[in-house]
Amino acid sequence: DDKGNVFFGLYDCQTRQNEHLYTFEKDLEVVSCSVNSERTLLAASLVQSTIERGRNELQPGSKCLTLLVEIHPVNNVKVLKAVDSYNWVQFLYPYVESHPLPENHLLLISEEKYIEQFHIQVTQEDGNKVVIKNSGHLSRDRIAEDFVWAQWDVPDQRLYYIDLKKSRSILKCIQFYADESFNLMFEVCLDISLSDSGFKLVNFGCDCRQYQEKLSKHPTLCVFTNHTGSLCVCYSPRCASPEQITYSVFYIHKGHSKTFTAALGSAGSHLTKGVTFLNLDHYVAVYLPGHFLHLLNIQHPDLICHSLFQTGNNEMVDMLPHGSLQSLSQSLVLDCCSGRLYRAFLNQSYLLCFLWNTSRDCEKMAALHCVLSCGRGPRFLEGQIIQWVSEKASACHSFDLIQEFLIASSYWSVYPKTSNVDKLLPYSSVLTWNIEIPGITLVTEDIELPLMKVHSFKGYWEKLNSNLEYVKYTKPHLHYNNSVVRREWHNLISEEKTGKRRSTAYVRNILDNAIKVISNLETRNSEPRLTPLLQEEDNHQRLLIGLMVSELQDHLLRHLQGVEKKKIEQMVLSYVSKLLDVICCILETIWRKHNLHSCVLHFNRQGSAGEFAVFHIMTRILEATNSLFLPLPPGFHTLHTILGVHCLPLHNLLHYIDSGVLLLTETAVTKLMKDLDNTEKNEKLKFSIIVRLPPLIGQKICRLWDHPMSSNIISRNHVTWLLQNYKKQPWNSMIDKSSFRVEFLPLNYFVEILTDIESSNQALCAFEGHDNVDAEFVEEAALKHTTMLLGL
């Protein structure tokens, strides 16, 4: 305060209040302070003013005092250190039950480049009074020596520090445990330049003003971890150029580093502060106020397009405070100038607005993944993303937006459910990215992997070790793809055409998988769907869905060790259901936007602008799924064909069919035959469709069309079927002309041969269910066809 008193308080983030702990009525400045978990002991390191230094009652002549104070209630003060070098203090917070600890542990970090751990035994006197036991002699351990940088990780109770060996920077980590033990977990060499004369601490409290000036001359360095087993070291050297700034991120869990160089432009000459690194769970934010904000994807850092880079004085870059920022645990950010504490997070609503407004493909890609990484938000937010995808599907030129959204949505739907999924499921449809991102360049280098110092791992360390093992031994990567599904599906379809189908149990199991997915899909929506999907058998798509479920289950069971089979089955069900649900939702969004109704399903009408929009988006969906061989909702091809007939001229329609864009389903063609009359235009359409049908479906459809052309096709198929195994034999009988309606010897002779074959043992079975097709039917069809050709 204005009288020179120093007050210690503890801020409660829930109540937003300060709890007063202790007051020094001295003209002192605080270097560091810490309170134990029971709030009974306060450790403080203080710098005396010039006036007070000569007359200090406790230890005259020393510059820095490190004190241990009993504060429950306020009682004794013990001097831990009284030296001319700065000290920092930090109580350990081991995770224990609510009972008070018999012993507290305090780290003391000295500017003389060593770290000690004090063991402080406490006892209760006179009821609740807590005092230090054996305060005359506190036992201590030397934890580290000769280090140039250190960082304290509060929630996980880890100490990171760097020492220099032969001019190499060696990062080490000590893990403290609740049972009072600690382990050196790993050490790794980093290619960074740290002067052995320098000294820098991170997360040991806010330093006094004089020391802040001293620290500002040093590089920025910090370590970030998250629950997935990631370990990132962020480093920015002193800025040597006013035109650009360089920073590096060592993705130690991935085995490589990336060094970025960002252009500052004309504003670079006003640069007074270095970059700030902020931990945002799946992302690390690199922030330079007024210049840029770079959201780095730490889980999938391989492609620069998966990280969002923003420059200039725009709203996103200016969201964070412009003062000196310090990143604390759990996304907390301390503004050292104002003393305010913030919690930083990715704002889905803002990112959605950004998606609508940005024109760069790289920013669309990165922002889309940022939005999805924020978690499964309210349904309306996902609806907004789907609306954006539906309307901007044609606006991306560097990648397929629908394809990317399908893969990313399915990935994020199962990602939180188990670890290591990021190594086994595709994160993106884009495998390479060669397009430059304006304002930034990068260099990627392989780095040494950490040398682990322990052999038994739990929790975070188990996940980190798993990541490192994957980098060491897994070549190529294990990401799932549908190549096996593609091959097996084509085999099943070929067997269906030839009539050779493998065991019924195998096929039934595949179709049962599809039934589970469709059932799960139908329960996802509380509102009924307007689009006519999932309403027909569509055996081919059901086979594809079931095969994907089966192959994906096998893939995960092979590589996810220790995960229950039932959990994997549920995960696969969610993944494939999400994939199909996204397709349904895209179509539903366009359908509702144009207010389409069930009358769309009738062929005897012209297509509207709304139908053309749905047809266009369905074509884009088909293109997106075909290259990855992903399944479609049953009924998709039928609806696509109906809309194609409505919207396309005949020659375009036939081109779409011949090139495989439109797939003729039995359901769609059956409706076409029933809905359309036999006008000249419709006859031309029907005949063009029938001749393009597979033989089995074509024979069924011809029976529905009462037309000479249909009879002609049926007759040709019947004759082909009869004669395919016919062996010519001597013919002795004379033709009785009186038995034929027309005296035309070639036709008479041919019909008699057919009649003879039909009555022989070669034709015991009816032709594909056409009980009424015989030689007489063929004769009548031939005469009608000839009559038409001659114009009689």
Query: DSSP assignment of 680-716, as one string?
Result: HHHHHHHHHHHTTS-HHHHHHHHTT--SHHHHHHHHH
Residue range of the domain that includes 593: 482-663
Domain boundary among 663, 681, 699: 663
Give the C-alpha separation, 72 to 124, whole Å.
10
Give the C-alpha separation, 395 to 370, whole Å.
19
Report the pLDDT averaged over residues 475-481. Answer: 80
514 and 655 co-located in one domain: yes
The dihedrals phi and psi of 213, each to the nearest 5 degrees, come to -60, -35
Report if residue 289 sits inside a domain: no
Residue-level pLDDT at 445: 94
| Cα angle 576-578-579, degrees, rounded to a multiple of 5 | 65
Report if residue 150 sits inside a domain: no
Q: How confident is the model at residue 775 (pLDDT cuts 50, 70, 90)?
A: low
Q: How confident is the model at residue 601 (pLDDT cuts 50, 70, 90)?
A: confident
Residue-level pLDDT at 400: 93
Q: Is the pLDDT of residue 710 over 60?
A: yes
54 and 122 co-located in one domain: yes
- Secondary structure in 3-state letters for 257-307: EEEEEEECHHHHHHCCCCCEEEEECCEEEEEECCCEEEEEECCCCCCHHHC
* Distance separating the N- and C-terminal Cα atoms of the chain: 115
Report the pLDDT averaged over residues 693-710. Answer: 70
Report the pLDDT averaged over residues 204-222. Answer: 63
Report if residue 13 sits inside a domain: yes
3-state helix, strand, coil in the chain (%, to 5): 40, 25, 35
Lowest-confidence region among 71-75, 232-236, 563-567, 697-701: 697-701
Report if residue 566 sits inside a domain: yes
Report if residue 134 sits inside a domain: yes
Residue-level pLDDT at 735: 53
Is the CB of residue 287 less than 8 Å from the CB of residue 276?
yes
Q: Is the pLDDT of residue 764 over 50?
A: no
Report if residue 335 sits inside a domain: no
Q: How many domains does the chain have?
A: 3
* Sequence-distant (≥ 6) Cβ neighbours of residue 613 within 8 angstroms: 590, 593, 594
DSSP string, 112-159: TTEEEEEEEEEEEETTTEEEETTTT--EEEEEEESEEEEEEETTTTEE
Q: In DSSP terms, which residues pair with 46 in a beta bridge?
A: 30, 65
Report if residue 450 sits inside a domain: no
**Longest pairwise C-alpha distance within the chain:** 143
Give the C-alpha separation, 792 to 787, whole Å.
5
Is the CB of residue 662 less than 8 Å from the CB of residue 656?
yes
- The helix (run of H) or strand (run of E) holding residue 721 is helix 708-723
* Sequence-distant (≥ 6) Cβ neighbours of residue 40 within 8 angstroms: 70, 71, 72, 100, 122, 130
* Sequence-distant (≥ 6) Cβ neighbours of residue 659 within 8 angstroms: none
Report how far apart, in Å, the C-alpha atoms of 426 and of each of 342, 415, 431, 511 are. Answer: 34, 11, 10, 25
Report if residue 105 sits inside a domain: yes
* Sequence-distant (≥ 6) Cβ neighbours of residue 227 within 8 angstroms: 460, 463
Give the C-alpha separation, 276 to 222, whole Å.
10
Q: Which comes out higher in pLDDT, residue 724 or 373?
A: 373
135 and 4 co-located in one domain: yes
639 and 772 co-located in one domain: no
635 and 728 co-located in one domain: no
Give the C-alpha separation, 645 to 684, whole Å.
13
17 and 103 co-located in one domain: yes
Residue-level pLDDT at 681: 86
Copy the structure tokens of residue 618: 């369905």
Query: Hunting for tokens 């004085």 — which residue is that?
Result: 313
Axis-axis angle for helices 708-723, 680-690 (nearest 10)? 20
101 and 27 co-located in one domain: yes
Report the pLDDT averaged over residues 578-592. Answer: 92
Report the pLDDT averaged over residues 291-302. Answer: 91
629 and 745 co-located in one domain: no
Q: Strands 325-327 and 308-311: what pairing? A: unpaired
Q: In DSSP terms, which residues pair with 74 in a beta bridge?
A: 71
- The helix (run of H) or strand (run of E) holding residue 246 is strand 244-251
Q: How confident is the model at residue 175 (pLDDT cuts 50, 70, 90)?
A: very high
Q: Name residue 745's amino acid.
A: L
Burial of 314-335, coded b for 16+ CB within 10 Å and e otherwise, reads: eebbeebbeebbbbbeebbbbb
- The helix (run of H) or strand (run of E) holding residue 170 is strand 168-176
DSSP code of residue 396: -
SS3 753: helix
Q: Strands 168-176 and 200-202: what pairing? A: unpaired
Averaged pLDDT of the chain: 82
Cis peptide before 476 (omega within 30 of 0): yes
509 and 633 co-located in one domain: yes
Query: Hunting for tokens 């990602």 — which residue is that?
Result: 415
Lowest-confidence region among 476-485, 759-768, 771-780: 759-768
Q: Is the pLDDT of residue 761 over 70?
A: no
Lowest-confidence region among 83-92, 563-572, 719-728: 719-728
721 and 654 co-located in one domain: no
Copy the structure tokens of residue 644: 């194609």
Report the pLDDT averaged over residues 360-366. Answer: 93
Q: Is the pLDDT of residue 210 over 50?
A: no
Strand arrangement of the beta sheet that strand 292-297 belongs to: 276-280, 283-288, 292-297, 308-311
For 312-356, what is each residue's pLDDT tens digit?
A: 766 766 677 777 777 777 778 888 778 788 888 888 888 899 999
For 611-641, what is each residue's pLDDT tens digit?
A: 899 999 999 999 999 989 999 999 999 999 9
Q: How confident is the model at residue 763 (pLDDT cuts 50, 70, 90)?
A: very low
Report the pLDDT averaged over residues 488-509. Answer: 80
Copy the structure tokens of residue 412: 């994020």
DSSP string, 409-438: HHHHHHGGGSTTHHHHS-S-S-----PPPT
Residue-level pLDDT at 376: 62
Domain boundary among 621, 636, 663: 663
Report how far apart, in Å, the C-alpha atoms of 563 and of each of 421, 464, 567, 568, 638 are. Answer: 11, 18, 7, 7, 40
Domain boundary among 97, 113, 144: 144
Q: Name residue 717's amino acid.
A: N
| Cα angle 755-760-766, degrees, rounded to a multiple of 5 | 75
Q: Strands 200-202 and 147-153: what pairing? A: parallel
Report how far apart, in Å, the C-alpha atoms of 475 and of each of 302, 466, 472 are. Answer: 15, 15, 8
656 and 745 co-located in one domain: no
Give the C-alpha separation, 478 to 321, whole Å.
42
For 715-760, what is each residue's pLDDT tens digit?
A: 677 677 666 666 666 555 555 555 556 667 677 667 777 776 766 6
Give the C-alpha separation, 204 to 147, whole Å.
15
Q: In DSSP terms, which residues pair with 161 in a beta bridge?
A: 150, 172
742 and 626 co-located in one domain: no
